[in-house]
Amino acid sequence: MVRDWFFMWRREFAHYNAGTFQKDLLAGLTVAAVALPLALAFGVASGADAAAGLVTAVLAGVIIGLMGGAPYQISGPTGAMSAVLIVLATRYGLEGVWLAGLLAGVMILALGLFRLGRVVALIPSPVISGFTSGIAVIIAFGQVDNFLGIKTPAAENVLEKLAIYAESAIAPNWSAVAVALIVMATMILWPRFTWGKRVPGSLVGIVLATLLVVLLGWDVPTIGAIPRTILLENRLRLTAVPWQEIGNLIVPAMSIAALGAIESLLCGAVAGNMTGVRMFTNIELVAQGIGNIIIPFFGGVPATAAIARTSVNVKSGGVTRLVSVIHGLVIMGAALLFGGLIGRVPLAALAGVLLVTAWRMNEWHAIQFFFGRRLKHAIAAFVITLVATVLLDLTQAILIGFGISTLVFMAQMSELQISRRPVEADRLGIALPTAAHNVSVYYLSGPLFFAAARRLLETVEGQDGADATLILSIRGVPLVDATGIEVLRELWHRQHTGGGDLLLTSMDQRVESQLQRGGLLDEMGPSRLFWSADKAILSLGGKLGWETAVSDPAQPLPEDSILATQTIEPFADRAEA
Task: Kindly report, residue by residue over 268-303, the tens digit of the pLDDT.
Answer: 888 888 898 989 999 999 999 999 999 999 999 999
Rounded CA-CA distance 110/118 in Å is 13
Task: Tell me the pLDDT tens digit for each residue of 386-400.
Answer: 998 888 866 677 678
Check whether 428 has a pLDDT greater than 70. no
Q: What is the DSSP letter of 558?
A: P
The confidence score (pLDDT) of residue 468 equals: 92
Query: According to the model, what pLDDT value does residue 172 have?
Result: 93
pLDDT bucket at 433, cuts 50 / 70 / 90: very low
Amino acid 569: pLDDT: 36
d(Cα 348, Cα 146) in Å, to the nearest integer?
5
Express as a percent the part of the chain with pLDDT over 70.
90
Q: Based on C-alpha coordinates, what's the Rg of the chain? A: 32
Instruction: In whole angstroms, give the CA distance from residue 72 to residue 271.
Output: 7
Q: How confident is the model at residue 345 (pLDDT cuts 50, 70, 90)?
A: very high
Q: How far apart are CA 439 and CA 543, in angstroms?
A: 12
* Chain segment 526-576, per-residue pLDDT in tens: 999 998 888 888 887 655 555 444 444 444 444 444 443 333 333 344 333
Top-confidence residue, 302 or 380? 302
Q: 264: alpha, beta or left, given left = phi > 0 and alpha = psi -120 to 50?
A: alpha
Dihedral of CA atoms 484, 489, 492, 495 in degrees, nearest 10, equals -100
| pLDDT > 70? residue 120 | no
pLDDT value for 155? 81
399-427 pLDDT, tens digit per residue, is 787 787 777 777 776 778 888 888 765 44
d(CA 30, CA 405): 40
pLDDT at 429 over 60: no
Say whether 504 sits in a helix, a strand or coil: strand
Report the SS3 class of residue 342: helix
**469 within 8 A of 500, measured Cβ to Cβ:** yes
* 399: number of Cβ within 10 Å: 16
Quick check: 283 and 69 in contact, CB under 8 A? yes
- pTM recorded for the entire structure: 0.74
Contact 45, 352 (CB under 8 A): no
> Considering only CA atoms, which of 72, 28, 75 is closest in space to residue 314?
72
Region of poorest pLDDT, from 129-143, 314-328, 336-350: 129-143
3-state class (DSSP) for residue 197: helix
Half-sphere exposure (Cβ direction) of 484: Cα atoms closer than 13 Å: 21
pLDDT band for 347, please (50, 70, 90 cuts).
very high
Give CA–CA dist 329/250, Å, rounded. Answer: 33
Q: How far is the C-alpha of 250 from the C-alpha of 104, rounded, in Å?
A: 9
Question: Which string of b and e fits 500-536 if b means at least 16 CB within 10 Å?
Answer: bbbbbbbbeeebbebbeebebbeebeeebbbbbbbbb
Half-sphere exposure for 240 (CA within 13 Å, toward CB): 10
- DSSP letter assigned to residue 473: E
Q: How far apart are CA 501 and CA 493, in angstroms?
A: 9
What value does the mean pLDDT take over residues 166-192?
93
Task: Give the model's pLDDT for residue 60.
Answer: 98
pLDDT for 225: 87
- Specify the pLDDT at position 570: 35
Is residue 241 pLDDT above 90, yes or no? no
Query: For residues 16 and 11, what is the distance between their CA atoms, to the nearest angstrom?
Result: 10
**Over residues 344-358, mean pLDDT:** 94
Q: What is the tens place of the pLDDT at every residue in 463-503?
A: 999 999 999 999 999 989 999 999 999 999 999 999 999 99
| pLDDT for residue 453 is more than 70 | yes
CA distance 452 to 475: 16
The reported pLDDT for the residue numbered 437 is 65
In sequence order, what are the beta bridge partners of 226? Answer: none
**From 203-212, 364-373, 534-543, the region with the lowest mean pLDDT:** 534-543
* pLDDT value of position 545: 52
pLDDT of 67 strictly over 50:
yes
* Beta strand ranges found along 477-575 (DSSP E): 501-505, 529-530, 547-548
What is the average pLDDT across 31-55? 94
